């Protein structure tokens, strides 16, 4: 049993933040004794128990009768302490009441362009990335097959541009 006199000491710790543990020594000046210290920090709440990265701390001192203590570890300095993670690990989404847009009168030319869109996009991918499926070699030979497949599409380019632009043209005002 201890008296009510003031007691003091010091601790030196080697901290491994990745594993939230610390190893060190605890010096008690009143008893003039040193003990091994093992500390385990538990991040109970995201961002810290009281904010600023504070954690629940369990300490074991085998040299002082296998003493186990519980406390709070609060980092004192550092520019990003408690700020590197959001307070919550989820996002609350707003309930949406979406309505489906029904297909109305779409211009026949636009519908035709949309029907052939997949083939046209595939053609663009084949000409811009010719070596994706080839192991190298002669570039002219590698491009021959994709270009032969695309010649019908390339011949109709002007016609395609005109058909895509037609639904978006402004009608000319009537002359009166």
pLDDT for the residue numbered 60: 92
What local confidence, expressed as pLDDT, does residue 38 receive? 94
| Rounded mean pLDDT for each run of 10 residues along the chain, 176 residues in total | 73 89 91 91 81 86 88 80 71 83 67 78 72 64 74 67 67 59
Residue length of the chain? 176
Give the model's pLDDT for residue 100.
Answer: 75
Q: Rounded distance, CA 135 to CA 94, Å? A: 49
Q: What is the pLDDT of residue 21?
A: 92
Residue entry with tokens 């091994």: 36
Round the CA-based radius of gyration of the chain to a whole number and report it.
Answer: 36
Supply 47's token pair: 């961002």
Closest CA to 44 of 71, 83, 62, 16: 71
Say what the pLDDT of residue 160 is: 66
Report residue 51 as tokens: 């904010």
Q: Which residues contact 20 (CB under 8 A, 6 or more apart)?
A: 40, 41, 42, 43, 55
Comparing CA positions, the residue from 69, 77, 82 lying closest to residue 40 is 69
| CA atoms of 120 and 117, how far apart (whole Å) | 5
The b/e string for 23-45 (b: 16+ C-beta within 10 A; e otherwise) is eeebebeeeeeebebebebeeee
């Amino acid at each position: 049993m201890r008296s009510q006199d003031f007691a003091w000491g010091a601790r030196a710790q080697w901290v491994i933040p990745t594993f939230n543990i610390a190893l060190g020594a605890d010096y008690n000046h009143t008893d003039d004794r040193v003990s091994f210290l093992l500390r385990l920090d538990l991040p109970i709440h995201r961002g810290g128990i009281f904010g600023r990265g504070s954690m629940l701390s369990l300490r074991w001192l085998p040299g002082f009768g296998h003493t186990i203590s519980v406390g709070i570890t609060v980092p004192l300095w550092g520019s990003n302490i408690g700020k590197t993670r959001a307070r919550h690990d989820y996002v609350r989404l707003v309930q949406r009441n979406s309505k489906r847009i029904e297909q109305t009168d779409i211009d026949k030319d636009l519908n035709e362009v949309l029907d052939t869109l997949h083939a046209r996009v595939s053609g663009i991918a084949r000409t811009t990335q010719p070596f994706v499926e080839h192991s190298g070699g002669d570039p002219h030979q590698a491009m021959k097959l994709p270009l032969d497949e695309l010649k019908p599409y390339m011949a109709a380019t002007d016609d395609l541009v005109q058909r895509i632009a037609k639904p978006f043209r402004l009608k000319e005002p009537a002359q009166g």
